[in-house]
C-alpha cells in the first residue's frame, strides 16, 4: 500500500455515570445503565506527517461542564512525544466544545473545517439554546480569528488532507460534521467522530440524543460503513470499548493503536 498511516487514539477525559437516555435518542426501556463516555483526540502519523484530528477541551471547560479531565489533550500529545508547535495540520470534525477547544495552542497549524460547520456555528441556529449548548462561543470565535488569519482550509463535502487521508461531510450530529478516512496497513480506517458516539449508535441504528438532523445522521452511518468497507474499520468518537480492544501504544498516556487489528471483531 502506497500510503499506509498509523493512527492513535489519545484518551484525555471521561464522563460517568451515564444513563441510557443520555446515549440514545430512543433508549431501550429495559436498560437502566449505560456505558461511560470517553473523550479522545486522534493522531495520524505517516509519510513524514503528523495530522491531529480534533483538539479536545481544557480544565476551564471541564469544570464548567462537570467533566473529568484526566489530562489536557495538548499535554497528552506531548507525553506521546508530539509537541503542539510541530503540528502543521489539524482536522476539526466539528466545532462542539469537546472537539474544538485548545485551538490557540497550535501556533503553526492549518485547520481543516467544513463550510457548513462554520456557517452553522455562526448562524441563526445559534439563537436556539438547545442547538447552541454543545458549542463554546470562545472556541467558535477563536476559529473565526483563524479564518481572518488565513489559517483555515474549508472543505465542501469531500476533501483531501494528504494522500490517503480524506474528509467527508456527513452532518447529522452537527450540520458540518465530517469524518476522516485514513489508509492503513489493515485497510481504510474511518474516524467517525460523532457520526457515532458509540459502536451501538451505528450498529443499532439508534441516534445519540444530541442531533441537528436525524435524517442526515442515519445517512451518515451508511457513508461511514461504505468508506470503511468493514465493520471493524470504523472508530466511534466516544466509546470506551475502543480502549479495551485496541493495543495500548504508550506507558505514559492513554494512547491506543487503531491501525492494528482489534482484539475482537464486530463481524456477525
Report yes or no on 144 lying in a domain.
yes
- Contact between 183 and 164 under an 8 Å Cβ cutoff? The reply is yes
Report yes or no on 221 lying in a domain.
no
Neighbouring CB atoms inside 10 A of 32's CB total: 9
Domain count along the chain = 1
Report yes or no on 91 lying in a domain.
yes
Containing domain of residue 123, as a range?
A: 6-164+239-257
- pLDDT at 234 (0 to 100): 98
What are residue 181's DSSP bridge partners? 166, 190
Report yes or no on 209 lying in a domain.
no
Report yes or no on 195 lying in a domain.
no
Give percent above pLDDT 90 in the chain.
96
How far is residue 73's CA from residue 41's CA, in Å, rounded to a whole number? Answer: 7
Report yes or no on 155 lying in a domain.
yes
**pLDDT tens per residue, range 39-71:** 999 999 999 999 999 999 999 999 999 999 999
- Give the residue from 201, 209, 241, 256 showing the smallest Cα distance to 225: 201
pTM reported for the whole predicted model: 0.97
- Give the residue from 70, 48, 20, 1 showing the smallest Cα distance to 204: 20
- Contact between 140 and 92 under an 8 Å Cβ cutoff? The reply is no
Torsion of CA 96, 37, 91, 258, to 10 degrees: -170
Helix (H, G, I), strand (E, B) or coil at 140: helix
**pLDDT tens per residue, range 195-204:** 999 999 999 9
Report yes or no on 82 lying in a domain.
yes
Q: What angle do CA 224, 6, 192 make, to 5 degrees?
A: 20
Q: Supply the CATH number for residue 139's domain.
A: 3.60.15.10
- pLDDT at 36 (0 to 100): 95
Residue linked to cell 426501556: 29
- pLDDT at 26 (0 to 100): 94
Report yes or no on 183 lying in a domain.
no
Whether residue 208 has pLDDT greater than 90: yes
Instruction: Spell out the alpha helix ranges (H) of 44-159.
Output: 59-65, 73-79, 115-121, 129-132, 137-148
Amino acid at each position: 500500500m502506497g500510503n499506509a498511516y498509523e493512527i492513535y487514539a489519545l484518551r484525555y477525559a471521561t464522563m460517568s455515570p451515564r444513563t441510557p437516555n443520555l446515549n440514545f435518542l430512543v433508549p431501550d426501556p429495559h436498560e437502566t445503565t449505560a456505558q461511560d463516555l470517553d473523550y479522545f483526540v486522534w493522531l495520524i502519523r505517516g509519510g513524514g506527517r503528523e495530522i491531529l484530528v480534533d483538539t479536545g477541551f481544557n480544565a476551564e471547560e471541564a469544570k464548567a461542564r462537570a467533566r473529568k479531565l484526566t489530562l489536557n489533550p495538548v499535554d497528552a500529545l506531548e507525553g506521546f512525544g508530539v509537541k503542539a508547535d510541530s503540528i502543521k495540520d489539524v482536522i476539526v470534525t466539528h466545532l462542539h466544545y469537546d472537539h474544538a477547544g485548545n485551538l490557540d495552542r497550535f501556533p503553526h497549524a492549518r485547520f481543516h473545517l467544513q463550510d457548513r460547520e462554520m456557517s452553522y456555528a455562526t448562524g441563526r441556529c445559534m439563537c436556539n439554546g438547545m442547538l447552541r449548548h454543545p458549542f463554546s462561543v470562545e472556541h467558535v470565535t477563536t476559529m473565526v480569528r483563524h479564518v481572518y488569519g488565513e489559517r483555515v482550509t474549508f472543505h465542501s463535502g469531500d476533501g483531501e488532507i494528504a494522500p490517503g487521508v480524506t474528509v467527508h461531510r456527513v452532518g447529522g450530529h452537527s450540520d458540518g460534521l465530517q469524518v476522516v478516512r485514513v489508509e492503513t496497513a489493515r485497510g481504510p480506517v474511518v474516524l467517525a467522530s460523532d457520526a457515532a458516539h458509540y459502536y451501538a449508535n451505528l450498529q443499532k441504528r439508534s441516534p445519540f440524543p444530541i442531533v441537528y438532523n436525524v435524517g442526515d445522521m442515519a445517512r451518515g452511518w451508511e457513508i461511514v460503513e461504505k468508506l470503511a468497507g468493514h465493520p471493524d474499520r470504523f472508530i466511534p468518537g466516544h466509546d470506551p470499548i475502543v480502549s479495551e480492544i485496541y493495543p495500548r501504544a504508550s506507558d505514559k498516556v492513554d494512547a491506543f493503536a487503531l491501525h492494528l487489528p482489534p482484539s475482537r471483531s464486530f463481524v456477525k
